[in-house]
């Protein structure tokens, strides 16, 4: 067995390689020791990282064909721990991730050619992977130009997709997302994918781009749809702009499959601002009474379980 065959999302490499361990998923709590047979491979990786870390404490590396993002953390005993985040595999489609067909069909319908689509959830819920899958399917179906702003680039989707093309860019920190959106608007985009919206400026610029004829896809940390919308509106300080921009917000949860614990089941809670319900949803967004959306969220959840959507 080689290190590249090990199933992990994050690998922790202290100075003593015998104490190296990993997590299978970003939100996992279990600390799993590196198998004895992989100690030599792991030591070789640590040596390679020490050589690269002279340039920067935060960098990317390709190790035996395995791409990882590296963060060197200095700890209290004057040593360092390398935290290695494995890059994700390019998704093929929303449905391949377990996304309900009724919702994926709606997201890719001509009704949603511009505006803002948010994937919300906790860390490790699959937000980025799902956003990437929608980006790829949209480009393949409609063509056009997509620019991404990411920190860092975690999944390689650059290049041609059907009639469309994707250009990926990496911003230096989370505060740079807003400025990146401004710059991208000068680069003839049809679609903008923002890795994550964290601050006020990025939220406002995402709304501006989405109400200027562009489709903006992004992720946002939230425990549920209503609290997520309240936090986003608070950051943007523009309920009316959010009401005009929003086309969909989808809350994602990954749960362990009780019959196969090594697998994860994607749970999707939707709020699509389309069809006959759109005007009422926008009025509620403008008012700021986000809790009033709970009945509409539940109605849409029941509809998509039956294979339908408004």
pLDDT of residue 59: 84
- 236 close to 200: Cβ distance less than 8 angstroms: yes
pLDDT of residue 43: 96
The tens-digit pLDDT sequence of the chain (310 residues) is: 899 999 998 999 999 999 999 998 876 889 999 999 999 999 999 999 988 866 678 888 899 989 898 999 999 888 899 999 988 878 889 999 989 899 999 999 999 999 999 999 998 888 999 999 999 999 999 999 999 999 878 888 999 999 999 999 999 888 899 999 999 999 999 999 999 999 999 999 999 999 999 999 999 999 999 999 999 999 999 999 999 999 999 999 988 777 776 677 899 999 999 999 999 999 999 999 999 999 999 999 999 888 776 6
pLDDT of residue 263: 74
Alpha helix locations (H) across 64-189? 101-107, 127-142, 177-184
Closest CA to 292 of 304, 279, 283: 283
pLDDT of residue 262: 66
pLDDT of residue 119: 98
CATH entry, 3-86, from 3.30.450, 2.60.40, 2.40.30, 2.30.30: 3.30.450
Residues 6 or more apart in contact with residue 294 via CB below 8 angstroms: 226
The token duo for 240 is: 């009316």
Q: Say how many CA atoms lie within 13 Å of 209 toward its Cβ.
A: 33
Domain boundaries defined on the chain: 3-86, 95-305
- CATH domain 95-305 topology: Rossmann fold (3.40.50)
pLDDT of residue 29: 85
Sheet containing strand 159-161, edge to edge, reads 159-161, 164-170, 144-150, 191-194, 215-221, 115-121, 246-257, 260-272
Give the C-alpha separation, 72 to 83, whole Å. Answer: 6
Residues 6 or more apart in contact with residue 261 via CB below 8 angstroms: none
């Amino acid at each position: 067995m080689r290190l590249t065959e090990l199933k992990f999302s994050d690998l922790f490499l202290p100075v003593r390689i015998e104490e190296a361990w990993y997590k299978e998923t970003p939100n996992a709590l279990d600390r799993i020791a590196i198998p004895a047979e992989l100690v030599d491979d792991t030591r070789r990786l640590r040596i390679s990282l020490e050589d690269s870390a002279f340039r920067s404490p935060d960098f990317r590396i390709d190790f035996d064909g395995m791409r990882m993002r590296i963060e060197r953390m200095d700890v209290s005993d004057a040593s360092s721990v390398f935290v290695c985040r494995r890059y994700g595999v390019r998704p093929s489609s929303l449905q391949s991730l377990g996304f309900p067909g009724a919702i994926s069909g709606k997201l890719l319908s001509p009704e949603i050619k511009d505006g803002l689509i948010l994937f919300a959830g906790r860390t490790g819920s699959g937000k980025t992977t799902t956003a990437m899958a929608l980006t790829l399917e949209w480009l393949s179906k409609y063509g056009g130009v997509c620019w991404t702003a990411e920190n860092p680039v975690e999944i390689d989707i650059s290049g041609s997709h059907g009639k469309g093309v994707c250009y990926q860019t990496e911003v230096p920190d989370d505060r740079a997302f807003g400025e990146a959106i401004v710059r991208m608007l000068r680069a003839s985009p049809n679609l903008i994918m923002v890795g994550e919206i964290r601050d006020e400026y990025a939220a406002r610029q995402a709304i501006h781009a989405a109400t200027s004829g562009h489709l903006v896809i992004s992720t946002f940390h939230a425990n549920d749809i209503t609290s997520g919308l309240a936090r986003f509106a608070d950051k943007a300080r523009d309920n009316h702009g959010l009401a005009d921009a929003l086309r969909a917000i989808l809350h994602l949860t990954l749960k362990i499959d009780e019959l196969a614990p090594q697998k994860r089941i994607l749970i999707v809670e939707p709020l699509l601002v389309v069809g006959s319900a759109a005007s009422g949803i926008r009025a509620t967004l403008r008012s700021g009474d986000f809790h009033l959306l709970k009945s509409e969220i539940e109605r849409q959840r029941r509809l998509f379980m039956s294979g339908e959507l408004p």
